Amino acid sequence: MTAYDRLAARFARMATLGEASSVLSWDAATMMPTGGGVARGDQLAVLAGMQHTLLVAPGVDEDLAEAEAAEETDEWRTANLRLMRHAYTRATALPPDLVEAEARANSACEKVWREARRLSDFAMVRSHLEEVVHLAREAAAALASALDLDPYDALMDGYQRGMRTTDVSQVFSDYQAFLREALPRAEERQARNPAPLRPAGPFPIAVQEALCRRIAERLGLDFAHARLDRSAHPFSGGTPTDVRITSRYDEADFTQAVLAVVHETGHALYERGLPSAWARQPVGEAAGMAAHESQSLIVEMQACRSDAFLAWLGPELHAAFGGQAVPYGSANLARMWRRVGRSLIRVDADEMTYPAHVILRFQLEQALVAGSLTVADLPGAWNDGFHSLLGIEVPDDRRGCLQDIHWYDGAFGYFPSYTLGAMAAAQLMAAARRSVPGLDAALERGDLAPLLGWLRSNVHGKASLLEFNELLSQATGKPLDPSDFKAHLAARYLS
């Protein structure tokens, strides 16, 4: 075997362990009895340890150096080797005692955070978060040195390769200026329109679940390689040949179930579209968290909340639930599912104000990592920043800096991916409309095949061959540009 072949075999074994972890994690969220939690934690920890041991084992660095010195002309193998080196550099940059300390601190903080959020008591978790932030700064410094990046960039690199703070700051600043002008106009326009009619329930959960499965199939999800189950919080997991999506159901309102399923189906379609020839290799994985979010949002926000798709979906909903037909008309569904409003909670925010929630977190976590903001001052900084961005007061920490798990679980650098993904989704949809004749006519028939075919060629099939901006440039003719997202919002909410 050549050095490259040995590395490919090693990374395939690591990926297989990761697949087992993913299915175990899905089971823990959907089917595992509560008493299995401790053992499941042990199982996942052992698998993670085995992956790390394989990655940093003696001889890996020598194989990397030998493979890099060899003549290589295939762009996929070249990219795969580059990603192997990147993974090895990140893994060996962090001392084992720091990795263990982070795992312990994150776990302890996350447990206290759950109670602190319930009681809206930031003081309860402050000391735990201080330790998490302290260790995150140590990790950021170590990674920055190994990767030749700034510390916060090194943390973002763990979620979306290739994006830098300067890139993100530029597009976020541009969007802030747009939002200041556009949000009052959207609110004024919305106030002049009639309020949406709410379909009359109840909506039996079994009917909702069957409908959601039919919608996912209509969108292109093959249930020979997928499952739809229930969980407390919707998510997508599993493996490219065995994707697992979940939703949650409310008999009084089918909205969250349907929209969660179309969102998670977008994630699942991306995984299913990854090139099988590069399965279990770094280059065959999704291109990052922002890229993944772009695929869920191009399906949910760009396609399935469009006027065209709602014209197909309305009769499907009416056939499933009965009652008056008027609330299921496309215009009424649009008023229900495309409303803007200043709200406190990120996960409930509309697509126009959601980026403000992300921008706030991006600014604050940069300051925490840099040391210019102390954990003790976080609640005040949050409240001031939120008021500056959206003009509303934060009444308590439960609806302020305690609302998200991410920081309390040590996930710094993750938040930008949400809005970068939304912007990329709009940019990709604009390019698809230019390239695919009759795309909206197909959506009116509930047919995503033309859009999915374009995504298969331009996004899914590229996997991690390209970095985020390179992927967008090849697919759309330019790197990430918020103008398409702003144009989408203007067309939907201002005209």
Contact status, residue 136 vs residue 412, Cβ threshold 8 Å: yes
Amino acid 352 reads M
Residue 72: the pLDDT is 82
Amino acid 322 reads G
pLDDT one-digit tens code per residue, 170-228? 999 999 999 999 999 999 999 999 999 999 989 999 999 999 999 999 999 999 999 99
Contact status, residue 79 vs residue 13, Cβ threshold 8 Å: no
Residue 455 CB-density burial (10 A; 0-12 exposed, 13-18 middle, 19+ buried)? buried
Residue 41: the pLDDT is 85
Distance from chain centroid for Cα 262:
14
Residue count (the chain): 495
The pTM score is: 0.95
Residue 307: the pLDDT is 97
The DSSP letter of residue 199 is P
Domain boundaries, the chain: 3-157
Indicate left, alpha or beta for 158 from its phi (over 0: left) and psi (-120 to 50: alpha): alpha
Taking 50 as the pLDDT cut, the residues of the chain under it are none
Residue 71: the pLDDT is 81
Contact status, residue 345 vs residue 402, Cβ threshold 8 Å: no
- Residue 482, classed as helix, strand or coil, is coil
Residue 34: the pLDDT is 86
Give percent helix, percent strand, percent coil of the chain, each to the nearest 5.
70, 5, 25
- Where would I find the H helices in 298-438? 307-321, 330-337, 354-370, 378-390, 416-435
Q: Which residues are catalytic?
A: 264
How far apart (Å, rounded) are the C-alpha atoms in residues 452 and 437?
Answer: 13
How far apart (Å, rounded) are the C-alpha atoms in residues 211 and 459?
Answer: 28
Task: Annotate 338-366 with DSSP letters as a single string.
Answer: S-----S-GGG--TTTHHHHHHHHHHHHH
How far apart (Å, rounded) are the C-alpha atoms in residues 282 and 81?
Answer: 8
